[in-house]
């Protein structure tokens, strides 16, 4: 539940720190005092839209912080854990700061957050019913959302929407193919020719590097053989004095002199590895000359292969070593085009996706039918309490063409009196009746949700007298299980609350108009209820009536 709300420099509020509790609380005050500022400020903290107009005139920024207590089994706690925003005490603090230029920052438990995250978490913590809820209730889309939300069918509606989009996307592809069949076939033939050319070439990954190296080796074979043979001769086969023989001779001479002067030993030790390395070089040159040979035929073959690779690379506007990748890319394009232009396969896929959609949509229709009966019965019962005896409320499911939201259109029908046929809510309900029906639906829908804090912003407008007292009892009953906050102008509603806050407006020392919210004790409540009953002049009679309302 909402425990504290701190508002600073918001519209006409300079600083308010509000302590709240569970149960039913009301906010009252003169017209224009800013009763709805509480809701507007909380909406901002819950991720609502913001601009520079919310910053109090002359202030640098508006700052709103809302602290909630959450239970261990709350979906909000799971959300916090999944998004790494948990706190040590298990509570959650939402904060929103808007500067004078309209830029805003959001925080969850002191850590930076996005506006979307505030909104997602806020939906798990607070459910706000605005004073214009009865106006949106006239719209078909709002009626569908209300039924699906109240019945817990939002996941099902999303599943149906995804199935519908998949079906229609495939249908569109099939229609586009049928419309553009000629150009698609031309493109397919072009790709088939290109893939065929590269298949015949059969370029392999790394082939260009290997064949370039082989070509270089073959084209310089004579020079390689001549140079290797000359080197081998100089090392070990020369008629004069080969290098290796000279090294051996020097070692022998120094070996004899070593007995005379052992200082020659380091020289002899340095010559030995040199002789060994030269001997290894001789072995390697012999092996090399044994393998290399002049091969004009292979050189011609390699020349032809390189020319073929070069030619294909120019044709496809790539380098020779990129030809294998180009083949893979074109083959994938051809496969995709083949899949997309297989009309029979497209039609089969379209029919399958349509069947999948219909299965999900019919399942949703069945769930909606059950939920509609439950909501119809509950709202009809509430209408009897709200001075609409004999009236009835019907959630009608009108068959419609398959669409994003299912196979039916949701329509709320109402009969204001016994014996009359229910007709469209937008056509038959008066302003007062519409307000009462909207309130009944709000209370019933709220009872079906797990949201811990419910806020009603003047949803009781358009009603009065005994009906207002019933409304107060309904909200009080709802407050037994939830935290219910209500902005109201009706004394019959205000008197039912466990806690009462008064909103007032006055002049600050600097001449600016500011709004205040104060908790009322018993005596102050009598005065406020009397004001609501009697207007500007409060008499002993109105005070007596106020005490009677509070006592009841």
SS3 for 253-264, per residue?
HHHHHCCCCHHH
Residue 480 lies in a domain: no
pLDDT at 144 over 80: yes
Question: Are residues 122 and 2 part of one domain?
Answer: yes
Give the single-character DSSP code of 54: G
How far apart, in whole angstroms, are the C-alpha atoms of residue 518 and residue 403? 51
Q: Which of 339, 361, 393 is the last residue of a domain?
A: 339
Grade residue 137 by pLDDT with cuts at 50, 70 and 90: confident
Rounded average pLDDT over 49-73: 90
Residue 274 lies in a domain: yes
pLDDT at 132 over 80: no
Question: Are residues 335 and 193 part of one domain?
Answer: yes
Grade residue 240 by pLDDT with cuts at 50, 70 and 90: low
Give the single-character DSSP code of 28: E
Which residues are registered as beta bridge partners of 126? 453
In the prediction, which pLDDT does 88 show? 72
Residue matched to tokens 């995709």: 336
Run of H or E including 22: none
Rounded average pLDDT over 79-88: 84
Question: Are residues 314 and 205 part of one domain?
Answer: yes
Across the chain, mean pLDDT equals 84
Question: Are residues 218 and 104 part of one domain?
Answer: no
pLDDT at 133 over 70: no
pLDDT at 392 over 60: yes
In the prediction, which pLDDT does 432 show? 63
Q: Which of 290, 305, 339 is the last residue of a domain?
A: 339
In the prediction, which pLDDT does 61 show? 94
List the 13-19 sheet strands across, edge first.
13-19, 2-10, 61-68, 92-99, 104-108, 111-113
pLDDT at 43 over 80: yes
Question: Are residues 293 and 218 part of one domain?
Answer: yes
Question: Are residues 202 and 121 part of one domain?
Answer: no
pLDDT at 429 over 80: no
Range of the structural domain that residue 248 is part of: 188-339
Tokens matching residue 65:
């912080």
Give yes or no for a contact between 255 and 268, defined as CB atoms under 8 angstroms apart. yes
Enter the pTM of the model: 0.60
pLDDT at 340 over 60: no
In the prediction, which pLDDT does 117 show? 93
Which tens digits make up the pLDDT trace of 287-330?
Answer: 877 766 666 677 778 888 888 888 889 988 999 999 999 899 88
């Amino acid at each position: 539940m909402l425990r504290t709300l701190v508002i600073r420099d918001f519209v006409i509020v300079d600083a308010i720190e509000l302590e709240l509790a569970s149960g039913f609380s009301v906010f009252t005050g003169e017209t224009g005092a800013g009763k709805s500022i509480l809701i507007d400020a909380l909406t901002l903290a819950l991720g609502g839209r913001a601009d520079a107009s919310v910053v109090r005139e002359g202030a640098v920024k508006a700052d709103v912080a809302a602290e909630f207590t959450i239970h261990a089994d709350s979906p909000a706690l799971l959300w916090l854990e999944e998004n790494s925003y948990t706190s040590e005490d298990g509570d959650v603090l939402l904060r929103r700061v808007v500067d004078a230029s309209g830029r805003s920052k959001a925080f969850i438990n002191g850590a930076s957050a996005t506006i979307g995250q505030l909104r997602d978490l806020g939906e798990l913590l607070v459910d706000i019913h605005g004073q214009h809820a009865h106006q949106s209730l006239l719209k078909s889309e709002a009626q569908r959302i209300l039924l699906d939300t109240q019945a817990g069918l939002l996941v099902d509606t999303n599943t149906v929407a995804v199935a519908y989009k998949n079906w229609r996307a495939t249908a569109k592809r099939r229609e586009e193919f049928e419309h553009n069949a000629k150009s698609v076939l031309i493109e397919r033939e072009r790709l088939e020719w290109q893939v065929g050319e590269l298949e015949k070439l059969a370029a392999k990954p790394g082939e260009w590097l290997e064949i370039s190296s082989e070509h270089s080796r073959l084209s310089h074979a004579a020079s390689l053989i001549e140079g290797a043979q000359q080197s081998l001769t100089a090392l070990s086969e020369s008629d004069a004095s080969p290098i290796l023989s000279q090294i051996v001779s020097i070692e022998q001479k120094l070996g004899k002199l070593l007995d005379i002067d052992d200082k020659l030993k380091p020289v002899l030790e340095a010559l030995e590895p040199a002789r060994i390395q030269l001997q290894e070089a001789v072995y390697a040159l012999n092996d090399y000359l044994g393998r290399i040979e002049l091969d004009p035929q292979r050189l011609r073959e390699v020349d032809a292969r390189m020319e073929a690779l070069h030619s294909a690379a120019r044709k496809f506007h790539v380098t020779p070593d990129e030809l294998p990748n180009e083949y893979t890319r074109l083959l994938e394009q051809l496969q995709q085009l083949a899949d997309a232009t297989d009309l029979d396969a497209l039609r089969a896929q379209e029919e399958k996706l349509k069947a999948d959609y219909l299965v999900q949509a019919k399942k949703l229709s069945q769930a909606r039918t059950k939920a509609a009966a439950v909501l119809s019965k509950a709202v009809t019962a509430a209408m009897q309490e709200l001075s609409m005896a004999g009236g009835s409320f019907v959630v009608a499911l009108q068959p419609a063409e398959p669409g994003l939201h299912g196979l039916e259109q949701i329509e709320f029908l109402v009969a204001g009196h016994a014996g009359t046929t229910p007709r469209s809510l937008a056509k038959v309900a008066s302003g007062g009746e519409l307000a009462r029906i909207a309130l009944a639906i709000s209370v019933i829908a709220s009872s079906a949700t797990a949201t811990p804090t419910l806020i009603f912003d003047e949803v009781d407008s358009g009603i009065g007298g005994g009906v207002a007292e019933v409304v107060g009892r309904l909200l009080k009953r709802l407050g037994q299980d939830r935290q219910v906050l209500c902005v109201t102008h009706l004394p019959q509603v205000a008197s039912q609350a466990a806690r009462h806050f008064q909103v007032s407006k006055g002049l600050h020392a600097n001449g600016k108009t500011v709004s205040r919210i104060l908790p009322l004790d018993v005596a102050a409540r009598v005065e406020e209820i009397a004001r609501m009953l009697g207007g500007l002049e409060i008499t002993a009679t109105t005070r007596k009536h106020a005490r009677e309302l509070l006592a009841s």
